[in-house]
Structure 1
Amino acid sequence: MSEKLQTILTAARDHASDVIAPNVDAWNAARLWPRSASDKAGAAGLTGLYVPEEWGGQGLSLAEGIQVYEQLGLGDGAYAFALSMHNICTYAACGYGTDAFKEQWARDLTSGRKLANFALTEPQSGSDPMTMYTHATINGDGTWIINGSKAWVSLATEADVYFTVVKTSDAPGHKDMAMIAIPADTPGISFGPLYDTPSYSFLPMSEMYLNNVIVSEDNIILPIGQGFQGSLMAIDIARVSIASGCCGLMQAALDTALAYSKNRKMFGGKNIELDGIQWMLGEVATDLEASRLLYRKAAEALGTPEGPLMAAHAKRFVPDAAVKAANTCTQVLGGMGLLQPYGLDRLSRLAQMLRIVDGTTEISRVVIGRALQKRAAGLPDLPVPRGFGESDAASPSVAAE
């Protein structure tokens, strides 16, 4: 591990323990994004992870930077998720944006002074991005007029710019899709009521409406024809980032159960001495180690032909393991696990949220299933045992049975 990565991971862990964990319940009660906290994250170098140093970033690879969310997840998985999406947008801006856009936005984004988020999903389409109605009309003066709506927009009303995927023609399919950055103060942009999300109500989510929004071509992040593939890459990065954050969540749940069990006295001893408790927590520990290996392997594969499949494996397995871990650790505490001060109820709800966002675990199973179909097609046919061929099925003796 490089010295720079170690420094960033330590900063993320300190941010989780000093800023997130002591305040997350108050944030949820206030139902407001903690801008002062994300400002501190920016000051700690956590908001420009994958961006070159020349633009104020840390210059980490995806495989390195994604480990940050495991540390942030020790404090709160939804907070880690929000920063992961900001970092994906910042990576796209500095890697693919126009020179004019980078000059205006790059350093504000990498420093965390301004926040960004990604808008792909639409109200009527859910996990089917091919069904898209948000449309951009390209004018002769280099401006784009955008109309449509997006759903499940994180940091709604709070982000300073939204990286939005649009269609640019009425043709079916994805070959006309592009991604354009829309500043939050652009006339014509508005938001619906915030979704009611009790366990992460500090993270504002809502629908975003675009009514004759005019944006300069300088704000094009991915040009026509690249918007869809670029979005898929962003989703793969997000899925592995979520798996990373889930590992932090699992560690937080396990540590809570261990801290409780080592002192709780029952049946003439302490809970941690009971075989049943050890087996339950041992299974959580094994799932956590397997999850770490899987998300880190998936992070290394990003940008390669194996990346989408590895991201699907990570998104399928790790959030499911996190749900199981949070529920098991709650069970270990018994009735005490239901009380708010221990935080396990919040972790259980967060784990369920992370199973759904950026592609449900069922969508990941579809991706894995399609890969298995392709693999099966390339395998040699197995010999059919005698008595099981088509001729047997047509014989009078078989038909009589």
Structure 2
Amino acid sequence: MPADIEKVLADARSHCEEVIKPQVDSWNEGRAWPRAASDAAAKLGLTGLYAPEELGGQGLPLSEGIRVYEELGKGDGAYAFALSMHNICTFAVCGYGTEPFKAAWAQELTSGRKLANFALTEPQSGSDAGTMYSRAVINDDGTWTINGAKAWVSLAGEADVYLTVVKTTDQPGHKDMAMIAIPKDAPGLTFGPLYDTPSYRFLPMSEMYMENVTVSEDNIILPPGQGLQGSLMAIDIARVSIASGCCGLMEAALDAALSYAKGRKMFGGVNLDLDGIQWMLGEVATDLEASRLLYRNAAAALGTPEGPLMAAHAKRFVPDCAVKAANTCTQVLGGMGLLKPYGLDRLSRLAQMLRIVDGTTEISRVVIGRALQKRAASLPDLPVPKGYGEK
């Protein structure tokens, strides 16, 4: 029987209050992934949200499990993002991995004893996934050898396995793409210097290099021809997960502004008595309510024909609202909003990061625009009233 979602959300809420919020500043100062924190999350079942119970998971549907990142996002959006990507990879391994690979890895991932991440973007190509240079070739003994590079790899050097999308021929297009699991200790797998990310320094990100990395055929998660389709599904889940985390970020920013405004004395009262302040924060509150409805509807649509478009709507709208919310709430605090102890500068930078990762908001607009073109093609032409357009 799947886990009780309300209990899972309560556990995520406790993890946020007891682990993330008190420690996130020290994590950033230490510039290292807080493995003790993710281990604590694992004990609560937060590293196997969508995996079946027989493999140690919670057995939650995507529509419910994605709500966890809203709770974690109240503490830190980057931490929520990293756990969301681990859960997506765990979902892929448990659902599509070979039986030998699942036997070796599934319960290691659902238990959080080992972490996983996803590698699609390359130094030369981001949004254009079809332009890919990483190559995997099959050897006479059935193993696969991989060469190439990936960029913006989260949990770089920290995750224990990387679900990596590669091409398997030199033919143009995506029909030969595969997804292959590469363990961290595979000979030939190395990582570049960590990117300098000022507001989420605890989340290691870097380029990943594959030089004659050879893995068993058991490590094929999605065979040639299915790699891009599977990657797009993973990205849709990630986009909705990011929208969920953004809602947590928005709530954190709003609460900080409210806590300050209710006590800041000025003009014979307090800030929160002023119409202008109420209107500013009221707009944030409305955006938050709309964002929650949108990401939850998008989560329910995942796996259906409407899923990609709904994910695009969520990724387009919610992170933009989060950026606006963080900036508005900073403005409410005035100069104090620039100070580190209030946390709004960190939230502003995180909101901008979440607008970009797993497809920028502009890419979501492209997806929405193409859907509108298809819709327009199905509509009858609007007749021109007689006399208009005539000389």
Q: Which TM-score tier does this pair reach, normalised by the shorter chain?
A: over 0.9
**Greater shift in the superposed pair: 354-363 or 139-148:** 139-148
Per-residue CA distance 1:187-211 (angstroms, 9 max, x = gap): 0000111001000010000000000
Partners of 1:293 and 1:283 in 2: how far apart? Answer: 16
Asked if structure 1 preserves the Cα contact closer than 8 Å seen for 2:3 and 2:58, the reply is no
After TM superposition, the structure 1 = structure 2 runs for residues 1-400 of structure 1, keeping only pairs within 5 Å, are 4-389=4-389, 392=390, 398=391
Secondary structure of 1:195's counterpart equals coil
| The structure with more radius of gyration | 1
Partners of 2:127 and 2:29 in 1: how far apart? Answer: 30
Offset of 1:385 from its aligned partner?
Answer: 1.6
Asked if structure 1 preserves the Cα contact closer than 8 Å seen for 2:319 and 2:354, the reply is yes
1:395: which partner in 2?
none
TM-score (norm 1): 0.96
Offset of 1:86 from its aligned partner?
Answer: 0.2
Residue type matched to 1:121 in 2? T
Partners of 2:119 and 2:170 in 1: how far apart? Answer: 20
Residue type matched to 1:338 in 2? L
Per-residue CA distance 1:263-313 (angstroms, 9 max, x = gap): 111100011111111100000000000000000000000000000000000
Secondary structure of 1:229's counterpart equals helix
TM-score (norm 2): 0.99
Offset of 1:353 from its aligned partner?
Answer: 0.2
Partners of 1:388 and 1:252 in 2: how far apart? Answer: 54
Partners of 1:191 and 1:3 in 2: how far apart? Answer: 37
Residue type matched to 1:168 in 2? T
Residue type matched to 1:80 in 2? A
Offset of 1:142 from its aligned partner?
Answer: 1.5
Offset of 1:3 from its aligned partner?
Answer: 7.0
Per-residue CA distance 1:175-230 (angstroms, 9 max, x = gap): 11100100000000001110010000100000000000000011111111110100
Q: Which runs of 5+ in 2 are unaligned?
A: none
Secondary structure of 2:123's counterpart equals coil
Per-residue CA distance 1:90-134 (angstroms, 9 max, x = gap): 000000001101110111100111000000000001111000010
Partners of 1:17 and 1:169 in 2: how far apart? Answer: 49
Secondary structure of 2:327's counterpart equals helix
Partners of 2:250 and 2:53 in 1: how far apart? Answer: 32
Partners of 2:127 and 2:22 in 1: how far apart? Answer: 35
Partners of 1:321 and 1:140 in 2: how far apart? Answer: 53
Offset of 1:342 from its aligned partner?
Answer: 0.3
Offset of 1:32 from its aligned partner?
Answer: 0.4
Secondary structure of 1:23's counterpart equals helix
Partners of 2:66 and 2:377 in 1: how far apart? Answer: 34
Secondary structure of 2:124's counterpart equals coil
Over aligned residues, Cα RMSD in angstroms? 0.8
The change in CA–CA distance for 1:3 and 1:194 in structure 2 (over 3 A counts) is: closer
Secondary structure of 2:213's counterpart equals strand
Partners of 1:172 and 1:36 in 2: how far apart? Answer: 44
Offset of 1:154 from its aligned partner?
Answer: 0.2
Partners of 2:275 and 2:45 in 1: how far apart? Answer: 44
Partners of 1:166 and 1:354 in 2: how far apart? Answer: 25
Partners of 1:29 and 1:274 in 2: how far apart? Answer: 37
Partners of 1:72 and 1:45 in 2: how far apart? Answer: 13
Q: Which runs of 4+ in 1 moved over 4 A?
A: none
Asked if structure 1 preserves the Cα contact closer than 8 Å seen for 2:53 and 2:59, the reply is yes
Partners of 1:207 and 1:388 in 2: how far apart? Answer: 58
Per-residue CA distance 1:317-362 (angstroms, 9 max, x = gap): 0000000000000000011100000000000000000000000000
Offset of 1:386 from its aligned partner?
Answer: 2.1
Secondary structure of 1:125's counterpart equals coil
State the number of aligned residues. Answer: 390
